[in-house]
C-alpha cells in the first residue's frame, strides 16, 4: 500500500467514524440495520441486497483497521 493509499483510507475511515460513532450516528445505524435487512436473507432480491451491501460497507469502515480495509477492497478492486 502506498503512502497516498494509506492516507486516503485513513481519512475515509475517520470520516465514517465521525458520521456514525456519535449518538445520532448510532441511532441511524440502528435504523439502517432494519431498513437494509442486515439480519435477514436478501437472496433473490437485488434491491434488498444492494441496501445490505451499503450497510456492510459502512460497518466495515467502522470496525476494520486500515490495513484490513485495504486488503478487502484491493481484492475486489473498490477502494
* pLDDT of 15: 97
Q: What is the mean pLDDT of residues 34-41?
A: 90
Backbone phi, psi, residue 69, to 5°: -60, -45
- In the three-class reduction of DSSP (H, G, I as helix; E, B as strand; rest coil), residue 39 is classed as coil
pLDDT in tens, 17-37: 999 999 999 999 999 999 998
Mean pLDDT across the chain:
91
Q: Please check the confidence at residue 79 and state whether its pLDDT lies above 70.
A: no
Share of the chain above pLDDT 70, in %: 97
Q: What is the mean pLDDT of residues 5-15?
A: 95
Domain that holds residue 34: 3-76
User: In terms of pTM, does the model score above 0.95?
Assistant: no
Q: Domain count of the chain?
A: 1
Distances (CA, A) of 44 to 30, 36, 49, 59, 77: 24, 15, 8, 23, 24
Amino acid at each position: 500500500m502506498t503512502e497516498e493509499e494509506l492516507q486516503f483510507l485513513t481519512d475515509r475511515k475517520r470520516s465514517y467514524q465521525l458520521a456514525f460513532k456519535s449518538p445520532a450516528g448510532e441511532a441511524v445505524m440502528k435504523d439502517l440495520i432494519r431498513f437494509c435487512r442486515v439480519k435477514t436473507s436478501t437472496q433473490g432480491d437485488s434491491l434488498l441486497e444492494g441496501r445490505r451491501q451499503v450497510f456492510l460497507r459502512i460497518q466495515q469502515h467502522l470496525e476494520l483497521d486500515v490495513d484490513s480495509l485495504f486488503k478487502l477492497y484491493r481484492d475486489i478492486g473498490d477502494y
